[in-house]
Amino acid sequence: MNEICQADICAKQTKACQQHFEYIEKVVGVKFEAIDKAMVLAAEEMKRRLHETNNVREQLGRQAETFVNTDYYRMEHSSLSKEVELLRDWKNIQVGKSAATNLMAALSLMVSFIVAVLHFFPGLR
């Protein structure tokens, strides 16, 4: 009878071990499925981010095409600086001419005044 009890205990232990093994197998399977899903989601997220990064790169590339390069800027700036300097010189010449014209007008007015005074007052001659 002792052998039957031991066989019964052994069968129960084997069954318990088998159930525990099936439980662990199920838990591990669920964890592996979760890991697989997480990896798929991470891969999709990585693809999305790389796609967005490439879009930003393309946009920056298109935007950079509209920028003025340094050599062109320097050349145009130098040209404009020369034109501004020429305009300043021209303005100074015009101001000088205007001053000379005003001086001549003042002198003409004084001479005309003197001639008129001498004409109307012959005794002052």
State the total domains in the chain: 2
- The whole-number pLDDT of residue 111 equals 92
Determine the Cα–Cα distance for residues 59 and 65; give it in Å rounded to an integer: 10
* Domain shared by 40 and 61, yes or no: yes
* Domain shared by 111 and 59, yes or no: no
Positions in the chain short of pLDDT 50:
none
35-41 contact pairs (CB < 8 A, 24+): none
What's the pTM?
0.44
* Domain shared by 30 and 88, yes or no: no
Determine the Cα–Cα distance for residues 104 and 94; give it in Å rounded to an integer: 15
* Domain shared by 40 and 15, yes or no: yes
* Domain shared by 2 and 51, yes or no: yes
Sign of the CA dihedral running 118, 119, 120, 121:
positive
* Domain shared by 18 and 55, yes or no: yes
In which domain, by residue range, is 100 found?
A: 69-125
Determine the Cα–Cα distance for residues 99 and 103; give it in Å rounded to an integer: 6
* Domain shared by 76 and 63, yes or no: no
Q: Which residues contact 55 (CB under 8 A, 6 or more apart)?
A: none
Last residue of a domain, one of 67, 88, 115: 67
- The whole-number pLDDT of residue 68 equals 87
- The whole-number pLDDT of residue 80 equals 94
